[in-house]
Amino acid sequence: MHLDTELLLQLISAILAIIATVLGSKWANAKNELVKLTRLNTKLASALKATSDAIEDDRITPEEEKVIVERWKAVIEEAKKLLEG
C-alpha cells in the first residue's frame, strides 16, 4: 500500500487547524472568566478593607456604614455577573 505524503500532510494540517480553533475559543472563554473573577476579587478586597477600617476603633460611623454597604453591594453584583455567565 502506497501512502501519499502530500495527502497525509494535508490531513494532519486540517486536524491541527481544527484543534487550534477549538483550543483558541476555549482559551478566550477561560480568559474572560479569569477577568470576571479578578474583578470580583478586587471588589471583595475593597469591601473587606472598608469593613476592617470601620471596625478598627470599635465604632462604625454612618459614613463608614454607607461605604461598607456600597462595597458589599458591589461584591454581590459582581458575583451575580460571574454566576450568570
Of 83, 3, 75, 84, nearest to 39 by C-alpha is: 75
Q: Has residue 2 been placed in a domain?
A: no
For residue 65, what are the domain limits?
26-84
* Overall pTM > 0.75: no
CB 79 within 8 A of CB 41: no
| 8 A C-beta contact, residue 69 and residue 61 | no
Q: What is the pLDDT of residues 29-84, one digit of tens each?
A: 889 889 999 999 999 999 999 999 999 999 999 999 999 999 999 999 999 988 88
**Would 14 be classed as within a structural domain?**
no
The domain total for the chain is 1
Tell me if 5 is assigned to some domain.
no
